[in-house]
Amino acid sequence: MVGAVERYLIEKINYDGAIHITLIDPENVTPPKAALITQKAVSSGTSAIMVGGSTFISVRHLDEIVKAIKRVVKVPVILFPNNVTGISRYADAIWFMSLINSVDPYFLIGAQVLGAPLIKKYALEAIPMGYIIVGEGGTASIIGKAIPIPYDKPEIAVAHALAGQYLGMRFIYLEAGSGAREPVPPELIRAVSVSIEVPLIVGGGIKTKEQALAAASAGAKIIVTGNVVEDDNVENKVSEIVRCIKNCKH
Ligand code: 1GP
């Protein structure tokens, strides 16, 4: 079942061409700082807030972060969990994700089985998403026991993305790893985006409007940035990225 948050994302993508989502890593911020960043990001045109990180473990802190964000912005807050501890009852939705190139069944289906009853209990909207780690992969790759797909193997990334789509995942995410030195190259994004029919999310290492535009021009429908919004210059960064990717034709 497609819920309200997913409908909102799709409508926004259809209207704007490509959208920006701000990622808050609960490990790096206090609740007031999370509120401040998200307020600035939303007023600069970000479409939703994702909350999650690779190594986070305290649900209590996560709850406080989500509540602080919900108090100040109206856009959806979507959980981006690395484990069952990434679930907060205060969010609007959760990326119900499987790390398709993990070699550990826990990250393919184990954590999902453990988390599903909680998601039901909290009435969180679950949005099925296939998560694929590429390039250097960073911490997410180590924690998720992934075999990151090299940037020069687009056909392997396409195979993973198609497998996700055929399993019913309604979004595919190409993740370069938070703070990646090189974001996902446009050629790789294009190879995947032209092969699948579900929206493609791209994140990891995107720091400039040029990189965001290159990703959107190659077919990314959602651009996620994390590190860049932890700077003091959130408004400028987010608004230049949003302006660049909006109505981007590819
Ligand atoms: C989300 O990991 C990314 O996909 C975020 O990466 O922190 O490098 O923007 P950055």
Instruction: Check pocket membership of 205 for ligand 1, CB cut-off 6 A.
Output: yes
Return the residue whose CA atom lies nearest to atom 1 of ligand 1: 203
On the CB side of 217, how many CA atoms lie within 13 Å of its CA? 11
From the CA of 177, how far away is ligand 1's center (Å)?
A: 6
pLDDT at 248: 67
Q: Ligand 1: does its nearest atom lie under 6 Å from the Cβ of 22?
A: no
Whether 225 lines ligand 1, by a CB cut-off of 6 Å, is: yes
Fold of 4-245: TIM Barrel (3.20.20)
Q: What are the domain boundaries of the chain?
A: 4-245
What pLDDT was estimated at residue 222? 98
pTM assigned to the model:
0.97
Nearest CA to ligand 1 atom 2: 178
Structure-token match 């600035």, residue found: 40
Q: Give per-residue pLDDT as tens, 16-33.
A: 999 999 999 999 899 999
Condensed to tens digits (0 to 9), the pLDDT of residues 200-213 reads: 999 999 999 999 99
Residues whose CB is less than 8 angstroms from the CB of residue 127 and which lie 6 or more positions away in sequence, other chains included: 3, 5, 6, 9, 78, 93, 94, 95, 96, 170, 171
Interatomic CA distance for residues 190 and 219, integer angstroms: 6
Residue 56 has pLDDT above 90, yes or no: no
